[in-house]
Structure 1
Amino acid sequence: MDLDHHTGASVDGWAHVVQSIETILVTRLNTRVFMRQFGSGVPAMVDMPMNDANIMALYVSVAEAIDRWEPRFEMTDVTFSAGADGVMTLQLKGNHLPNAHLGDVTVVNDETQVIRVQATRVDNWSVAA
């Protein structure tokens, strides 16, 4: 259980996993004082050109960060799209493993979970489950 970053209400279960992934993806590496490795390289990639090499680097950065910091989400697919208005969207698909942080890797159900992460060129991030 944790507090919702936007409302201050308590959050747990799948909503807590989504909030955790948002925190991981928007946190720049080397910015947490006692956990310098926490976060991802995604914020540094926001203004990079949308070529194949950078899109692949984005996929790798997202996958590595989630694999390292969020055991309750087993990512199975990621897709990327970018609009002419500068908004990029990542769609993450995977399985919810509610007790993986305790060593139990049982999937909560056979339903695939989807998370959409959007960012504009001014580092304005949003996440929707």
Structure 2
Amino acid sequence: MALKREHLVDIDPDTLEYVSGWPRIKKSIFTILTTRLRTRIMRLWWGSAYLDAQDKPMNFETMMDSIYEAASKINEYEPEFNVTRIVITSAQANGEMQVRVEGVDLIDQQNRIISQAI
């Protein structure tokens, strides 16, 4: 007999309200990509090197490193989401990148897409 899984519940740091499901997953993905490694005191291993690409020339190698870093860290730290595709849709001279993350919500089995400027 299979057990029914439910979405994790978290607290939204902006509104301080409970959040679960796709809104929680989106916030988690954004947090994973914008937290630099070794910046959380009790979890030095948590975060990603995704933002390190902002300080480098935006060439093919840098874009591939960014995509690999984002996909591997999201799959490692977000238990309710599995990345299927990541695309950097634009990169600005000021270091801001528009990233599109596609994947599957593992609880609802729904295909989901998030597009975020980081």
Q: TM-score range by the shorter chain?
A: 0.7 to 0.9
Aligned to 1:112: 111
- Relative to structure 1, the CA distance from residue 54 to residue 112 in structure 2 (aligned partners, 3 Å threshold; closer, same or farther) is same
The answer for unaligned runs of 5 or more in structure 2 is 1-8
Q: Runs of 4+ in structure 1 displaced over 6 angstroms?
A: none
CA distance in 2, matches of 1:84, 1:94: 25
Q: Any residues of structure 2 matched to 1:1-129 within 5 Å, and which?
A: 1-84=9-92, 86=94, 87-98=96-107, 108-109=108-109, 111-119=110-118
TM-score relative to the length of structure 2: 0.83
Partners in 2 of 1:59 and 1:65 — Cα distance?
10
Kindly, what percent of the aligned residue pairs are identical? 30
Q: Deviations 1:109-129 (Å, cap 9, x if unpaired)?
A: 4x410011212xxxxxxxxxx
What is the letter of the counterpart of residue 67 of structure 1?
N
Q: Deviation of residue 83 (structure 1)?
A: 4.8
Number of paired residues? 109
Instruction: State the Cα RMSD in Å.
Output: 1.5
Q: TM-score, normalised by structure 1?
A: 0.77
Which consecutive residues of structure 1, in runs of 5 or more, have no partner in the other structure? 99-107, 120-129
